[in-house]
Amino acid sequence: MKKHGLFLISFCLLCSGCTLSTNQNLDTSVDMTPRLIATSEIMDSAQIADTVKSAIVGISAGLANGSSIGSGVAIADGGYILTNFHVISGAKSITLYFADKSTASANYVWGDSSIDIAILRSAKNLPYLDTAPLENVEVGDDVLAVGTPLSLQFQHTFTKGIVSALNRTIEIPSLGGYTTYMQNLIQHDASINSGNSGGPLINTQGKVIGINSLKASDAEGIGFAIPIETATAVANKIIKTGEFKQVYLGVFGQDALLAKFNQETTEESGVYVVDIDPNSPLSNTSLKKGDIITKINGAPIKNTLDMRKAIYALSPDEKVEIEFKSPNAESASNVVV
């Protein structure tokens, strides 16, 4: 079983507030023809870097009081780019920097601050990468992190490491004094710094397995990436329909294994219900705080990543059946909303 871990140390997000001028002489050796970059072959680091670089972008988000520097990766035809929400939050303008040293503007399409993911659309189409789900990732796998550490001068920086652990949970203090958790993260030891936010974590087939988001500020070689499938369900709907209408169930949960760590349940699989919005569709059902969600519309729910994928796949008018376990109950229950 892939183990969870709860870290109670200091973490920092990976966006940068500084920028330097960049050389705008075009590099014609980089093929920027829009296309899917995909291979089933295992490549060495140099081959991976050469293969994927045209789909990676540096990002400068113009803010009211300066700029935020980060990274992104194209994951679909039409210039759709994934990055971290905190990179572009509050942006008045967004500029992308490509591997051939050209630039283009981008528009904000969608974002969710709770999972720190945003989708942009570039004014210029570009090559895009294939993705690989978390189930294909193993501890010890070689990976490359790509991004724009420190400033735009260092855009398209590649660093190498391995997957150190899977399904990590880390505690993030919020400005309001509340504690939130980022769950189901990929831990790796590829070097990442401020400006790497939103850049991809790539496997040896050149596929995106995650989006780099934060690192341990008091340690070396402890970085974290958000699994790519957190965003692909949303991205696929936007690409297909031009929009994403998020279904709101109003249930707030955490991995059952984290709740067990906190001695709130004895279950190890599923999503522990922390709270239910009193104005949500679930408020008048039998589902309550302390229950463990195990299935949504028949799909097994092992953790919050599974729950997000299931909810993101729903349509606004679709009926939802939730199967759950209550403490000391002999059998599972279900509700339909």
In tens, the pLDDT along 76-125 reads 999 999 999 999 999 999 999 999 999 999 999 999 888 889 999 999 99
Select which of 54, 68, 71, 116 is catalytic. Answer: 116
End-to-end CA distance of the chain: 32
The length of the chain is 337
Question: What is the pTM for the complete model shown?
Answer: 0.83
**In this predicted structure, what is the pLDDT of residue 10?**
52
Q: How far is CA 285 from the centre of its chain?
A: 31
Select which of 189, 197, 213, 255 is catalytic. Answer: 197
Q: State yes or no: is 44 an active-site residue.
A: no
Q: State yes or no: is 86 an active-site residue.
A: yes
Contact of 223 with 199, CB cutoff 8 Å: no
In tens, the pLDDT along 203-261 reads 999 999 999 988 777 777 889 999 998 888 888 888 887 778 878 888 988 899 889 98
**In this predicted structure, what is the pLDDT of residue 5?**
41
Most confident region among 7-11, 155-159, 330-334 by mean pLDDT: 155-159
Q: How many angstroms separate the Cα of 29 from the Cα of each of 26, 53, 137, 156, 212?
A: 9, 12, 32, 15, 27
Q: Where are the domains of the chain?
A: 1-244, 251-336
- What CATH class is the domain 251-336? mainly beta
Q: What is the spatial distance between Cα 324 and Cα 15, in angstroms, rounded to a whole number?
A: 39
Q: How many angstroms separate the Cα of 242 from the Cα of each of 48, 75, 142, 245?
A: 31, 15, 35, 10
**In this predicted structure, what is the pLDDT of residue 82?**
95
Select which of 86, 151, 189, 306 is catalytic. Answer: 86
Q: State yes or no: is 197 an active-site residue.
A: yes
Q: How many angstroms separate the Cα of 190 from the Cα of each of 73, 154, 214, 222, 234?
A: 17, 16, 12, 8, 27
Instruction: Write phi, then psi, for 239 (nearest 5 degrees).
Output: -65, -35
**Site of tokens 């008045």:** 92
In tens, the pLDDT along 4-42 reads 444 444 555 565 565 555 556 788 889 999 999 998 899
Q: Is residue 142 over pLDDT 90?
A: yes
| CATH, domain range 1-244 | 2.40.10.120
**In this predicted structure, what is the pLDDT of residue 28?**
82
**In this predicted structure, what is the pLDDT of residue 3?**
38
